[in-house]
Chains A and B, each alone.
Chain A
Amino acid sequence: MHGVCCMIDVCDLKTYYSRGFLHRTSVRAVDGVSFGIEKGETLGLVGESGCGKTTLGRSLLRLIEPTSGRVIFDGTDIMALSRRDLRRFRPRMQMIFQDAYASLNPRMRIRESIAEPLRIHGLENRAGIGRRVRDLIEMVGLNEEHLNRRPYELSGGQNQRVVLARVLAMEPEFIVADEPTAGLDVSVQAQILTLFRDLGRDYHTACLYISHDLGVVRAMSDRVAIMLKGRIVELGPTTDVLDHPCHSYTRRLVAAPGADRGFSRPAPCPAPSGSPAMVEVQSGHWVEAAAW
């Protein structure tokens, strides 16, 4: 289902929460998800609120501990790592959250926030840190005067740039971006996304781009996965999936206004086979066989 030399290989990942004190119920936030992402590729992850995409993103980085499954990052199963070994792995895989303002310590100046990853991992000495911070802040389109400010003095878009600088300080190989432009104005979103895309290309970062906005996903991702109730129901090259959706849910998503124009007749899809396994409809385009 995915190439041999994947950067990230996710195998049957499950994250279940248990709720309730006396009457324990299990919430299957991520219910058996498998996919791969190649080096330099961006995989979009689309779904409604509550489908589990945020949990999936966090589970991949073990910010939430998954219940079972494997995540093989460049040959190593990070699920099997001890906490100490995992911590050493962290600089290579990073996350960008939705609310930029909440992602930064309100009491720290921008300069300190960006320098922090460099300090934690001892990547540079004092003089080197100063230089790197200046380079990073310019790379994300801000200038030195912003370094002395605090997050509440900057706008949402500017804060998100700072977050990008902080994350890029470690030159990660994999980034999970969880709706980084939700709540930002259209023109600011365009600025942030263009920056993100350009930097991603320069660094060849693999990326999982989580969003509910199909227009953004279409512009940012090479392939896209559609998520519903904890499972991936369709996966394939972006234009394929969005222009010729096979799964009924994907069709419903694509038909929403403000999603995409350019939805044409669905490609002929083979008959369902009964088990919820994925069926390859076209080369690289997989659909959950259960119900479409």
Chain B
Amino acid sequence: MRMDDPLLCVRGLKVGFPTADGVVKASNIVDLTIRAGETLALLGETGSGKTVLGMAILRLLQPNTRIEGEILYRGRDLLSLPQEEMQKVRGREIAVVLQNSGTSLNPVLRVGDQIAEAITLHRGLKGAEAEAAAVELLDQVRITDPARMAREYPHRFSGGMRERALIALALACNPSFLIADEPTRGLDAVTKREILNLFSEVNRGRSVLFITHDIEAAASLAARVAVMYAGEIIEIGPVDAVLSSPAHPYTRGLLESLPAKGMRPIPGSAPSLIAPPPGCRFFPRCSCGAGRCEIEHPGLVEVGPGHYARCMLYD
């Protein structure tokens, strides 16, 4: 594999969840690549399919999910790996910082033990050595008094501290690729800044897929950003280009709805993923849509160096 070959390459990924009302087509990704050492932000709102994509890479979705396509990691298709091989990849090669919910850490196990578990699993250290390594990790993520906190239970950790613990857990085995699912959700402004600083520090040189709905966070951490809407990538490119001169009407609408930029809401709401609109999925809410947009499904078109948008305006 050459140096500038992409580390991760997603091709033609389609994810569907069968439900009582029909199949929810959560993901319709044509192509996505991440190079070694690069941070790509996956920006989208609830229902855009960003978490599904992240979980699909590590095959952490429910068993009855229908997945098609390829996810190539270092040239190997992860979707076709047998379970034992996949288990070797999870945690060691690719790690996930899960969403910081009430149950992201096991409430009845001490935090240090949970981190030590990851270490024992992949690095082979046991007992006291694993514990010591866990404390060291907690120190790396700047938790004060790590030795004491390692012996505490998760409910004693504040939101920001839990996030740090989750990051420590993911970094336990120094993976080459990290998927971070909304690391700043629900945190107040000051804590958010601290977590973002920490995040960029501990991930120097690592490839990161940063899933978020927070535009400012994406702007501060990522080199490239992919904007998702209704299960598709509708714009992708260098973060400065996309956020300062957005090409797709949705991206523009998203930026304009920020309080700092005028708080102009986008009318309507996201489409149902069971029966998405046949043409452009954003058409029903778009202020510049034309007849074509309703019928034809747009492909990604280049609008600048390395900058693509899925919109008929540029076709």
Contact = CB atoms under 8 A, between A and B. Distances in A.
B263 A193 contact: yes
A197 B215 CA distance: 23
Contacts of B216: 257-258
Contacts of A257: 192-193, 196, 216, 220
A215 B260 CA distance: 6
Given A49-B159, A194-B265, A257-B216, A189 B257 contact: yes
Contacts of A253: 189-190
A260 B259 CA distance: 10
Interface in B188-210: 188-193, 196
Interface stretch (A74-82, A89-97, A179-187): A179-187
A187 B189 contact: no
A193 B192 CA distance: 22
A146 to B, nearest CB: 12
Interface in A88-120: none
B69 to A, nearest CB: 27
Contact of B254 (A157, A187, A193, A220): A187
Given A48-B191, A186-B45, A218 B213 contact: no
B145 to A, nearest CB: 19
A190 B186 contact: no
B158 interface: yes
Nearest to A157: B269
Q: Which of B214, B220, B258 has the most CB of A within 10 A?
A: B258
A219 B259 contact: yes
Interface residues of B, number: 30
Contact of A258 (B45, B217, B263, B264): B217
A187 B220 CA distance: 20
A126 to B, nearest CB: 33
B215 A186 contact: yes
A218 B188 CA distance: 16
A182 B159 CA distance: 15
A215 B186 CA distance: 15
A12 interface: no
B222 to A, nearest CB: 13
A32 B293 CA distance: 59
Given A214-B189, A257-B196, A191 B265 contact: yes
Q: Which of A157, A218, A258 has the most CB of B within 10 A?
A: A258
B45 A183 contact: no
Interface string A117-159: 0000000000000000000000000000000000000011100
* 5 nearest A-B residue pairs (beta carbon): A258-B216, A190-B257, A185-B45, A190-B265, A212-B188
Interface of A: 48-50, 155-157, 182-183, 185-191, 193-194, 212-216, 218-220, 252-253, 256-261
Given A49-B158, A49-B159, A258-B220, 17 more contacts: A48-B188, A48-B191, A155-B269, A185-B45, A186-B45, A188-B269, A190-B259, A190-B264, A194-B263, A212-B188, A213-B189, A215-B258, A218-B259, A219-B260, A256-B189, A256-B192, A258-B214
